[in-house]
Structure 1
């Protein structure tokens, strides 16, 4: 969607564009209400500030929509399509990496009680696996901070992909 159109559409349509970026109602409402934006850069800057910080409840709600790393969502939603694209660096046919990711996901979920989240776009499967293994040594509070940052990065990358000048 062009920025000019995003700036002028009905609020409900703007929310529909924003929600797949990250399903955090406060963030979606803040960005929607701040329109119009003079540039894509100003939109991204505002969106970044509005995402700082995400509350623990917002993080939990947003994580409900994220698949495990290595799992390919099959739904036809905008969010599922974005997730498939972001995980393009994870080759499901590489059984060694797939098994290591599955094992790491289980260990992570057991320790932290949520799915492992990382901005996968631009990262290779070995990089993701190394990050997963490293983050397993974090404390819950350290991991909370990292997960919120990863959500912000994902939201901004997705927003950047759906809005053009």
Structure 2
């Protein structure tokens, strides 16, 4: 990311708190993360925004991580009509039915063990990669898994922020002062 100002970053720096908070919530459901990013506006460039995002993700409490994970659908089951989850989980779309069924079983086992969805930065990963990752991570203890979840969330947030800062704002009129819905996603 360059140090130049981008359309989405310019919008974010000047938007009202409610509109900016709503845009951030589309990227990450953790309230503390969004509040931390809002508190440090304006950003001179995307690199600084990414750094603050990384700091805010690292500072999330267990409740904050839970809140963030609640905003993510299980791997293999993107939210209907949600271009974000469909785009991020593209690697599962062409998986055969046996692999999809296995992934469902693994997701359920993971959720039973850890109490939350299996979170992975799915962008660019194949269905087999995600299956292998959940298999491997089922062997982790709770503390190790929380560390990995935090790392994966930071990657997801960076990808989503990257798309967001590059997009054109929808406009300045009432109801259209936020970037276009669905645009800030990988």
CA drift of 1:58 comes to 0.7
CA drift of 1:105 comes to 0.8
CA drift of 1:114 comes to 1.5
CA drift of 1:93 comes to 5.4
| Among 123, 128, 153, the residue aligned to 2:155 | 153
CA distance in 2: counterparts of 1:140 and 1:15, whole angstroms: 31
Structure 1 runs (4+) deviating above 6 angstroms are: none
Task: Report whether the alignment pairs 1:73 with 2:79.
Answer: yes
CA distance in 2: counterparts of 1:106 and 1:51, whole angstroms: 25
Distance 1:93 1:136, change over 3 A: closer
1:128 corresponding residue in structure 2: 130
| Among 92, 95, 102, the residue aligned to 2:97 | 95
CA distance in 1: counterparts of 2:117 and 2:70, whole angstroms: 9
| Among 3, 8, 14, the residue aligned to 2:14 | 8
TM-score normalised per structure 2: 0.81
> Which digits, 9 at most, give the CA deviation of each residue in 1:6-35, with x for residues without a partner?
111111111111111111111111111211
Q: Which has the higher contact order (CA 8 A, sep 6+)?
A: 1
2:27 corresponding residue in structure 1: 21
Task: Report whether the alignment pairs 1:52 with 2:58.
Answer: yes
Aligned residues: 161
CA drift of 1:73 comes to 0.6
CA drift of 1:121 comes to 0.6
C-alpha root-mean-square deviation of aligned residues, in Å?
1.6
5+ residue gaps, structure 2: 1-6, 168-186
